[in-house]
């Protein structure tokens, strides 16, 4: 499904461990989310085609994810809030294996992250709906 707003097709630039991609449909996003590297992980930086912000960052490992939303440059961002408590989940920052540990309170199911990214495709100028966020 390609999205069209006011006669213009909406598309996202998405960078992941393999480089730059363009997504203008839900199917494109689903295909990109199936690209995984070590320990079934990837990291996606999403923004409207041709602009850097707002940006949605999606960290994925297996069936878990964490989201960061940056509305503009120099804003500390918003972090997704899940319903797990205690402990941390280890995500990868690059395919060379640099790691980032996030509190489990910020981890959400991969299906919720996929739905948020699809929402961002339709409205790339606002924080995706359907996710609880904490401002950093």
pLDDT in tens, 19-34: 999 999 999 999 999 9
DSSP SS3 for 17: coil
Q: How confident is the model at residue 111 (pLDDT cuts 50, 70, 90)?
A: very high
Rg, Å, the chain Cα set: 14
pTM: 0.91
Q: How confident is the model at residue 2 (pLDDT cuts 50, 70, 90)?
A: very low
**Running DSSP on this structure, what letter comes out for residue 18?**
T
| Residue-by-residue DSSP string for 53-118 | -SEEEEEEETTEEEEEEESSTT---EEEE-S--SSEEEEESSTT--EEEEEGGG-EEHHHHHHHHH
* Cβ–Cβ under 8 Å, residues 107 and 117: no
Q: How many C-beta atoms surround the C-beta of residue 3 within 10 A? A: 17
Measured between alpha carbons, how far is residue 51 from residues 13, 20, 41, 71, 126 in Å?
A: 9, 14, 26, 12, 14
> Model confidence over 91-102: pLDDT tens digits?
999 888 899 999
């Amino acid at each position: 499904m390609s999205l069209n707003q006011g006669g213009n097709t909406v598309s996202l630039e998405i960078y992941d461990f393999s480089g730059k991609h363009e997504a203008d449909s839900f199917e494109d996003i689903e295909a990109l989310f199936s690209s995984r590297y070590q320990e079934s992980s990837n990291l996606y930086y999403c923004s409207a085609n041709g602009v850097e912000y707002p940006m949605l960052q999606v960290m994925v490992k297996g069936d878990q994810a964490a989201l960061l939303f940056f509305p503009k440059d120099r804003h500390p961002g918003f972090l997704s809030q899940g319903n797990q408590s205690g402990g941390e989940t280890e995500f990868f920052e690059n395919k060379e294996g640099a790691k980032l540990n996030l509190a489990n309170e910020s981890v959400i199911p991969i299906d919720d992250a996929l739905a948020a990214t699809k929402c961002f495709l339709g409205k790339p100028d606002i924080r995706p709906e359907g996710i609880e966020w904490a401002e950093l």
